[in-house]
Structure 1
Amino acid sequence: MQQLNSGVAYLIWCLCFFGICGGQRFYAGNFAGGVIYFFTLGLFGFGQLIDLALIPGMVDKRNIYLRGLHGGTTPSVNQSVTLNIGDIPQLKQLQELQTSKPSTTTPMQKLLKAAKEHGGQLSLAQAAMCTELETEELKKLLQQAQKDGYAEMSNDSHTGAIRYHFDV
Structure 2
Amino acid sequence: MQQANSSVAYILWCLCFFGICGGQRFYTGQVTSGLIYFFTIGFFGIGQLIDLALIPGMVDQRNLYLRGLQGSGTPSVNQSITLNIGDIPQLQQLQGIQPQPLSTGSPMQKLLKAAKEHNGQLSIAQAAMYTELESEHLKELLQEATKIGYAEINNDPNTGAIRYHFDV
> TM-score normalised by the shorter chain: which range applies?
0.3 to 0.5
Q: Which has the larger radius of gyration?
A: 1
Give the TM-score taking structure 1 as reference length.
0.47
- Which structure has more RCO (C-alpha within 8 Å, separation ≥ 6)? 2
